[in-house]
Amino acid sequence: MSVAGRKIRIAISIGDPAGIGPELAVRAAASDRWKDRAELLLYGDPAVIAESVRKFAPGSYPTVVSAGKLARLPAYGVASADCGKAAYETIGAAVKDALTGRVDALVTAPVNKYAVNLAGIAFTGHTEYIAELCGVPEVAMMQSAGSLRIAFVTTHIGLAEVPRAVTRERILRVALLLDEAIRAEQEPSPCLAVAALNPHAGENGFMGQEDETIVKPALEELRNIGVNVTGPFPPDTLFIPGTREKYDGILAMYHDQGHIPFKMLAFDRGVNSTLGLPIIRTSPDHGTAFEIAGRGIADTGSFYAAIDLALLRAERKFRICTCLEK
């Protein structure tokens, strides 16, 4: 697949230079897995990338876009303000190029939130920062592995704040984004399931009113506009095979409600993506793994899956744009 006579261009931000991101990035760039379909551009400090090539992908020559430069090579596995600032700046450079069309999609290697905050930068995660850079007030996080897809009504907030943040409007927005994302993966008629906020789906209000007063009316509104959605389901039974496999996507109400079962089911191949952006952005479903950084043993499964999904969406977007232009 080419775009105007060229391969799909995918930016890869290398993440925290002290983590496993640079290793994963150079190994991906050295792989033949996407050679006929995509060009991978590595965003980060050229010296860090060069050292990673020497250690993890000798003999390869990745395309490098200089960003987030450091004064010296960092120590592996150590959180630092310098690495946090470099990772933050690298994300910004890659997003800018995605917004201007220099690249067709962005895959972000893991960053360390603590390191970014050590640099004096208020940072809660890739999702929120990229949304800010794109000027989008509301986005949603989705975790996926093949047909297992989970989107989140709320994400990086304290558990005590969740009931106030689960609103009818937010449920509608995230469900519509999930439905759209599944259609972009060439599933024409998605069937969605929704997890309840409360245990036992609230037991008709005896274990909390939110599922009766907020969740159920929102689902009825979704059905009225043509979204195939069922629920709310008791969260403790929604993820068993006999239930989850009936659906193309699941709506979780808060971070751990969906992340815990997802990572138990698909940690080594899970992909995180941000829905509602004007750009395509995916990432692996794991962190910087400081404890193994620099050892050359990082599992590539989730990272490669993130590239696969970004490429799939970019090719799909190109096909749609081409059809509209004809």
Q: In this structure, what token pair is assigned to residue 272? A: 């995180």
Phi/psi at 283 (5° precision): -155, 160
139-270 has CATH 3.40.718.10 classification: yes
Q: What whole-number distance in Å separates Cα of residue 251 and Cα of residue 215? A: 11
Q: What's the CA gap between 194 and 215, in Å, rounded? A: 9
Identical topology for domains 1-136+277-326 and 139-270: yes
Decide if pLDDT at 326 tops 80. no
Per-residue confidence (pLDDT) for residue 201, from 0 to 100? 84
pLDDT attached to residue 176:
96
Contacts of 288 by beta carbon, 8 Å cutoff, 6+ apart: 15, 16, 18, 19, 20, 21, 110, 111, 112
- Residue 4: CB partners within 8 Å, gap ≥ 6? none
Rounded-to-integer distance, Cα 91 and Cα 106, Å = 9
State the pLDDT confidence band at 202, using cuts at 50, 70 and 90. confident
Cα–Cα separations (whole angstroms), residue 92 to 55, 81, 87, 98, 212: 27, 17, 9, 10, 42
Per-residue pLDDT band at 265 (split at 50, 70, 90): very high
Q: Tell me: domain 1-136+277-326, CATH 1.10.3720.10, correct?
A: no
Residue 322 pLDDT level (bands cut at 50, 70, 90): very low
Those residues whose C-beta lies under 8 Å from the C-beta of residue 133, and which sit 6 or more positions away, are 91, 92, 95, 96, 99
Strand duo 105-108 + 140-145: pairing: unpaired
Do 310 and 277 meet the contact criterion of CB atoms below 8 Å apart?
no
Share the mean pLDDT of the chain. Answer: 93
One-letter amino acid of 252: A
Q: Within 13 A of 240's CA, how many CA atoms are on the CB side?
A: 7
Distance of CA 150 to CAs 171, 178, 215, 273, Å? 13, 8, 17, 10
Q: Where are the beta strands (DSSP E) in the chain?
A: 2-3, 6-13, 38-44, 63-66, 105-108, 140-145, 148-152, 192-195, 229-233, 249-252, 271-275, 281-284
What pLDDT does residue 254 have? 96
Instruction: Tell me if the bond preceding 62 is cis, omega within 30° of 0.
Output: no
Residue type, 140: A
* Strand 38-44 with 6-13, pairing: parallel
Query: What pLDDT, in 10s, does the model give residues 79-111?
Result: 999 999 999 999 999 999 999 999 999 999 999
Q: How confident is the model at residue 325 (pLDDT cuts 50, 70, 90)?
A: very low
> Domain extents for the chain?
1-136+277-326, 139-270
**What pLDDT, on a 0 to 100 scale, did the predictor assign at position 316?**
82
- Span 277-292, average pLDDT: 95
pTM of the predicted protein model: 0.89
* CA dist 251 → 68, 105, 175, 218, 224 (Å): 36, 25, 7, 12, 18
Query: For 122-146, how does the pLDDT look when each residue is reduced to its tens digit (9 = 90+)?
Result: 998 888 899 999 999 889 999 999 8
